Structure 1
Amino acid sequence: MKTGHNALLAGLLAATALAAPGTALAGTASRASTLEARLEKLEEEMASLRAELAEARATNAQANARADAANTRADAAVAQSENALQKVAAIENRPVPAPQPDGFRSGATTIKLGGYLKLVASNTRFSNGSVATNTLGRDFYLPQTIPTTMGGRGFSSQDFTAKQTRLWLNLDTQVSGHTIQGYLETDFQTTASAAQSVAAGGSQRTTNGYTLALRRAYMQVGRFTFGQDWSTFQYAAALPESTDYVGGAEGTVFVRQPLIRYTAPLSRHLTLNLGIENPESALVTAGATATLESGTDRMPDFTARIVYSRKRGEISLAGLLRQVRGESTDSALVNNVTSAGAVGTGLTATGLGGSIAGKLFLNGSKSSDIRFMATYGQGIGRYVGLNFAPDAVYNPATNSLTNVNTFAALVAARLSITRRMRVNIMGSYQDDRYDKALTLSQISGLNKKAWSAAANLFYSPVKNIDLGLEYRHGERTVANSAAASGEATGQLDRVEFAAKYSF
């Protein structure tokens, strides 16, 4: 039994010995396969790492290239900035040129030229009679020229003129630390030779030549003005913007004459003007209509005006005191022109008047405003409405000068529509009352009333060009002993175009 058991054990050992090498070989093969797999995976990872490394190197190279380019641009910008700074420094180090004054110099005087070129084309309808060619009533609105012929036929006219063209010089001279200023202004409208001929410069048939006429010429030294200017009694800023030469003539004070004026600022907003001005009496003889400039005045006209100014506008109060004087031979007026050497009796009357006027701005840009003037007095006829009424009437029956009372008013509105377009609306009126001692036949033919209204549209395509279209209606009333009402009237209707170039 024991022997059998040993034999079985020996057989198992032998079988185990035979099987052991095969098992060992199988384990070795399995490990090799695992190692190969791990090696392949490692190689794949190495390849991936190499690719990532290559990509990182490429990205780094691009970044370096961009950095180099940025550095290059920065260096260029720095260089450009330094160059610009050098140029700025060079400019700043240059001496600043002195500002060039307007105009030109002649010695110590600066001279500036200004003015405007103006064309006016008008079509006018007069209701009761005609107006002669080459007269002022054809050139601009002058109420005393409106025909009042009873039963007269209507008359129409078409006129073109450039007479209102204006030239002026501004003068400024420095003398011993003081400034002397001068002003000279001319146009072709106010020439004394209203009816032009070929000998006088050319008619409308040929060359339309007109004489240059003086408007204003004065010098200012300190607070004094010496020369010819608007009367101190007039507030020129109230004149409306119009295609017409004046615009509402009957309602405004309108006089240019030689004067001496003293101007004194009383405060920041208040200015006083005192003047002594050229006297001239405008007289008519009862029963006649011709106005006589006596030329025998012996006292200047005294004027005063005070102006209150603020940002929104200004108000003017003016006064006039004068002596109206004429000479008579106890039955007729005489003067040193028509009766040279005649010795007559001096006749006088007192002229006294007041005027309130102003301009009120409607907006902050001052492109829209209201302008107005109201005037009243006796013996002030030549100052108002371009001498629409006389200063006084000589009455041969009493050998005296009788008073004429005058009231006049003007109002105008300037309304800006756009920066280049504006509308002006205006109305004016004058009423003259003669002494009750004069009969209707003694004042027949003399002006009693006038009024007008107008509206226009102005367009300025550029700064220096103004184009305007205006319609105006005006009426004149005169005393007329032949009329049942004691008056005769005439009307004017005018459409007018104006083109102006200012320089």
Structure 2
Amino acid sequence: MNRMTKTALVVATLFSASSFAGYEVQLDESSKLTFGGYFKVDLRNVNGDQAYRDYWIGTSTYAPDTNQTSLQAKESRFNVKFTHGAVTGFLEYDFYGGGGNALVSNSYTPRMRHAYIAYKNWKVGQTWSTFMPLASIADALDFGGAHVGQVFIRQTQIRYTNGGLELALENPANATDANQSIPDAVARYTYKGDFGQVAVAVLARTFDNNGVAGNADGTQFAYSLSGKVFTFGKDDFRFTYNAGAAGRYISPGHNPGDKVNTDGSGDLLTTQAYTVAYRHFWSEDWRSSIYYGHADVEDFNGLNADSDRNHYAINLIKQLNKQLSVGVELGNYDADISATNSANSDYIQLSAKYVL
């Protein structure tokens, strides 16, 4: 099939497909394009002592008497996958990149989420960290659920997969720490069965302080235990437990600069974090999830002054048809802003989501 014919086929498929519908384009016997993503609109109110955020992560800004409502569609995303034989290329964007002048056009800058190449057992490019347990994330309206208790990070990597075993070398750099010359190493094993799945992962990060006191030094380790277990009917229970010298990997934004102990050892501050979530189906069309996440970074606010984050929520979601759902979520987020100051906020979110 020549290039002109391929182009005509793609264009014809685009215009013949129903509006915003997901679809697949067969280019030839061994090549195809697949388009996907979703449109999501959120109405969100945050009321409390923390600045408004579109979704909660491990960072927090003290802002007394906050009561702010926002209507936005930034979580909407679009992806395209090109498959040619054993080779796959995948690209996905959403709109959390910035911009959004509400006085004029409310335009938002696209943000690259994933961009990778997969070939047989290998994957190279930007995608979810191999250390991150995707299956245990709660079915939440708040984007990503209880980030505070999770490993949640995307970055460029080289990953090898063989059955349940995954081995990866991943980007070691962060915004404030340039003393890593060796890629971060991750080993992960996932066991799946009729019960669901469980996984264990280990992370190793190697630093060199280059003689600068207060910088991280030596090899630091962290681990993650996670799972998704089916219970009654279509219900499921999801959990994670993450611990160790993970720095920026656990509770995103909580310790982004890989802060270290003050004892001169060069060891990263120890983080413990966990999430639990239960999803219940009231009927074929109605479901709810209740979830909780917690993170604690030891000595983050000074000696014997840990930094805690907590996020809990409950939601109700109506599946109107295979593609369209609507829902409401009520929750609370609290954080230790400093050694003597904490903040607490309630939120309510209404969402509509149309999956391609």
Same topology, TM > 0.5 = yes
Of 301, 314, 331, the match for 2:197: 314
- The equivalent residue for 2:56 is 141
Aligned residue type for 1:426: Y
Q: In 1, distance between residues paired with 2:111 and 2:145? A: 20
TM-fit CA distance, 1:221: 0.7
Contact 1:237–1:358 under 8 Å retained in 2: yes
Aligned residues of 1:403 and 1:435 also touching (Cα < 8 A) = no
* In the alignment, structure 1 residue 297 sits paired with structure 2 residue 180: yes
Normalising by structure 2, what TM-score?
0.87
Tell me, yes or no, if the aligned pair for 1:296 and 1:326 is still in contact at 8 Å: yes
Aligned with 2:237 (options 359, 370, 373): 370
Find out whether 1:123 has 2:45 as its counterpart.
Answer: yes
1:468 aligns with 327
Task: Check whether the contact 2:292–2:310 (CA below 8 A) recurs between aligned residues.
Answer: yes
Find the counterpart in structure 1 of residue 74 from structure 2: 163
Distance 2:47 2:118 in 1: 44
| Equivalent runs, 1:310-389 vs 2, <5 Å | 310-326=193-209, 330=212, 348-363=217-232, 367-378=234-245, 380-389=246-255
Which structure shows the bigger proportion of residues in strand conformation? 2
2:220–2:267: 8 Å Cα contact kept in structure 1? no
Look up the match of 2:90: 183
Conserved 8 A contact 2:191-2:199 = yes
| Contact 2:136–2:240 (CA under 8 A) maintained in structure 1 | yes
Residue pair 1:381, 1:387 contacting (<8 A) in 2 also: no
Which secondary structure state, in structure 2, belongs to the residue aligned with residue 297 of structure 1? coil
- Give the secondary-structure state (helix, strand or coil) at the position aligned to 1:393: coil
Provide closer, same or farther for how the CA distance between residues 106 and 300 of structure 1 changes in structure 2, counting only shifts above 3 A: same
Identical aligned residues as a percent: 27
The 2-side partners of 1:247 and 1:502 are apart by 18
* Bigger radius of gyration among the two: 1
1:263 maps onto 2:130 in alignment: no
Q: Provide the rounded CA distance (Å) in 2 between the counterparts of 1:307 and 1:393.
A: 31
Asked whether the equivalents of residues 203 and 223 of structure 2 are also in contact (C-alpha less than 8 Å), the reply is yes
Trace 1:395-434 onto structure 2 (pairs within 5 A). 401-434=266-299
In structure 2, runs of 5+ residues without a counterpart are: 1-22
The structural deviation recorded for 1:323 is 1.3
Deviation string, structure 1 residues 307-353 (Cα, Å, up to 9, x no partner): 1100120000100011134556x5787xxxxxxxxxxxxx6233201
Q: State the secondary structure of the residue aligned to 1:153.
A: strand
Contact 1:324 1:391 in 2 (8 A): no
Task: Name the SS for the 1:237 alignment partner.
Answer: helix
Deviation at 1:402, TM superposition (A): 4.4
Give the counterpart of 1:104 among 11, 20, 25.
25
Q: What CA distance in whole angstroms lies between the structure 1 residues aligned with 2:210 and 2:224?
A: 29
Number of aligned residues = 332
Letter in 2 for 1:123: N
**CA distance, structure 1, for counterparts of residue 213 and residue 251 of structure 2:** 30
Cα deviation digits, residues 450-488 of structure 1 (max 9, x gap) = 1111000000111111101000111101442xxxxxx32
Q: Is the 8 A contact 2:148 2:295 kept in 1?
A: yes
Deviation at 1:385, TM superposition (A): 1.2
2:114 aligned with 1:205: no
Q: Structure 2 vs 1, CA of residues 500 and 272 (structure 1 numbering), >3 Å: closer, same or farther?
A: same
For residue 65 of structure 2, what is the amino acid of its counterpart? G
Contact 1:146 1:476 survives alignment (8 Å) = no
Alpha-carbon distance in 1 for matches of 2:284, 2:57? 32
Kept after mapping to 2: 8 A contact 1:294/1:327: no
Could you state the TM-score of these two structures normalised by the residue count of structure 1? 0.62
Partner of 1:401: helix, strand, or coil?
Answer: coil
**CA–CA distance in 1 between the matches of 2:322 and 2:242?**
35
Q: Residues of 1 paired with 2:101 and 2:209: CA distance?
A: 37
Matched letter for residue 354 of structure 1: Y
The verdict on how the C-alpha distance between 1:435 and 1:421 changes in structure 2, with shifts beyond 3 A counting, is: closer
* RMSD (Å) for aligned C-alpha atoms: 2.3
Counterpart of 1:451 in structure 2 is: 310
Aligned to 2:173: 280
Higher helix share: 1
